[in-house]
Chain A
Amino acid sequence: GAGVSQSPRYKVAKRGQDVALRCDPISGHVSLFWYQQALGQGPEFLTYFQNEAQLDKSGLPSDRFFAERPEGSVSTLKIQRTQQEDSAVYLCASSLDRSNQPQHFGDGTRLSIL
């Protein structure tokens, strides 16, 4: 079955470059979430969309991080002027809605900043 799909699976960039990470949620899922997972840690919340509306971006670590979901389906997480501390796995999850429906995760994009 079609789960959450993320691309690319791996991304290497030089410090200062901009990167864009893509998330294709499960079809029909209203809610979409982005998480950041540092090595050896649990995922940490970045931002949340309900359809195309970004309702919570409290977890974004700086204004270099920007996320969008213009048509309420595919989402892109963009990081500008990357720094070494941005190296992490970026996970996307989707759910039917934001009530008590479970979130289903993709396998993430592993970002390495050189």
Chain B
Amino acid sequence: DAKTTQPPSMDCAEGRAANLPCNHSTISGNEYVYWYRQIHSQGPQYIIHGLKNNETNEMASLIITEDRKSSTLILPHATLRDTAVYYCIVKGYSTLTFGKGTMLLVSP
């Protein structure tokens, strides 16, 4: 599976949009981009996934560039409860391979 690169940490003010970037320049054609988050002492929570089209659900939006080499997870109105480690994972027909993720801190 392709590797991903994420910033180690980001800050966001409560109520503002949080935009979390991910680079996956070696992604291949059949690999999906998945996003999970993990709040302290809980298991990873699935957020969203996509192949090449932008996706939106009740939690977030996923924007994938046309060349599929990078993506952005958007939390439109961040709350304090969105403070967590966010993992961007590229996955084909295999298991999930987690990196170190981005620690998002949402502040009042």
Cβ–Cβ contact B43 & A102, under 8 A: no
- Count, chain A residues at interface, CB 8 A: 22
Q: Is the interface of A mostly helix, strand, loop or mixed?
A: loop
Cβ–Cβ contact B49 & A42, under 8 A: no
- Count, chain B residues at interface, CB 8 A: 19
| Docked pose: A44 CA to B100 CA in angstroms | 11
Cβ–Cβ contact B43 & A42, under 8 A: no
CB nearest to A3 among chain B residues: B43
Instruction: List 18 A-B residue pairs with CB atoms under 8 Å apart, sorted by A's residue number.
Output: A4-B43, A33-B95, A42-B99, A45-B95, A45-B96, A48-B95, A93-B44, A93-B96, A98-B93, A99-B93, A102-B34, A103-B46, A103-B96, A105-B43, A106-B43, A107-B41, A107-B42, A107-B43
CB within 8 Å of B: which residues of A?
4, 33, 35, 41-45, 48, 56, 91, 93, 98-100, 102-108
CB within 8 Å of A: which residues of B?
32, 34, 41-46, 49, 87, 91, 93, 95-101
